[in-house]
Amino acid sequence: MELETKISRVLANYGKELVQEWVQEQLKDMSTHGHLMSDQQLRSQCEEFVHLVQRAAALSDCRDMKGAEWEPTRDMLASISKSRAHQGYTAAETALFVLSFKKPFFDRLRLEHGGNTDALAADLFLASDLLENLALHTTNVFQASREEIIRRQELEIMELSTPVIQLWPGILCIPLIGTFDSERTHVMVESLLQKIADTRSEIAILDISGVATVDTLVAQHIMKTIAAVRLMGADCFISGLRPAVAQTMVQLGVELLNVITKANLGSAMDLALRRLGLEVRNVKQ
């Protein structure tokens, strides 16, 4: 015997009450994150969800969520998940949005079915399955948007960490900031060499005033960078050696043989300009 599902009817008849109870339920659960979203916003999200599910349930048999009838629901949940991922909700809290609908919804289903336990059990199973699938969908979207955020940030950090600046036609500057490992050095050397090739620059200034400490490995990376720059046919100066860094290098026995070092970027720039046959002079006289 095919039992008729009352999911759609329950949603249509008790829509307002369901939303009311559901919102209460969620406010209780998410007391810690109450400030992230207004009650009004939450209520309108809930209303829209109930409305969309009702319409989809009326059109389909609630068994397969992949159909076109469920697309508006899926899209709406996806946009909620995305915005929550950006607002800083956890994955559990996002999934709870859908899962917390169970309690008020099941209560209403029980009332509607009265004593017909077979029909009630079938409907509960169906509704439970439906809501869990929708919750899983929100979790998937939530995770995907989180990953997207991480990927974007990774890219930004990578770009931030290795800027190559053209100070003058023919003169490039690469300011080193923070700590240097092989991975970062690799990216830095690659972008520097590429920029040298692109701009046909003759001089690259390695400004290490932002490097707090230098160990043998970092010194080795710097020497390798200089060697590669020279192979390209450009020359490389170092500027901004801090006294402490200079001392460490001496103690470590790092000799910057054949490398021109300057105290600050200005004097390195001055030397670079001279190499190109240019000079800076005061014209106000």
Interacting residues with other proteins (CB under 8 A)? 189-190, 193-194, 196-197, 200-202, 224, 227-234
Cα Rg for the chain, rounded, in angstroms? 32
Alpha helices (H) along 60-200: 71-87, 91-99, 102-113, 117-161, 182-199
In angstroms, what is the minimal distance from the CB of 275 to other proteins?
13
CA atoms 92, 97, 98, 104: torsion sign: positive
CA 162 centroid distance within chain:
19
Given the complex with other proteins, which of 100 and 162 has the nearer CB atom?
162
The smaller minimum CB distance to other proteins, of residues 107 and 202, is found at 202
* Residue (58 or 187) nearer to other proteins, CB: 187
Cβ proximity to other proteins: between 103 and 186 the closer is 186
- Choose between 146 and 230: whose C-beta lies nearer to other proteins: 230
Tell me how far, at minimum, the Cβ of 206 lies from other proteins, in Å.
15
Is the Cβ of residue 16 or residue 186 nearer to other proteins in the bound state? 186
Say if residues 18 and 107 touch (Cβ distance below 8 Å).
no
Q: How far apart are CA 281 and CA 177, in angstroms?
A: 31
Least separation in angstroms between residue 138's CB and other proteins is 45
* Least distance from other proteins to the Cβ atom of residue 268, Å: 20
Write the DSSP symbol of residue 35: G
Beta bridge mates, 174? 206
Please report how close the Cβ of residue 280 comes to other proteins at its closest, in angstroms: 21
- Three-state SS string over 97-132 comes to HHHCCHHHHHHHHHHHHCCCHHHHHHHHHHHHHHHH
Query: Minimum Å distance from CB 258 to other proteins?
Result: 11
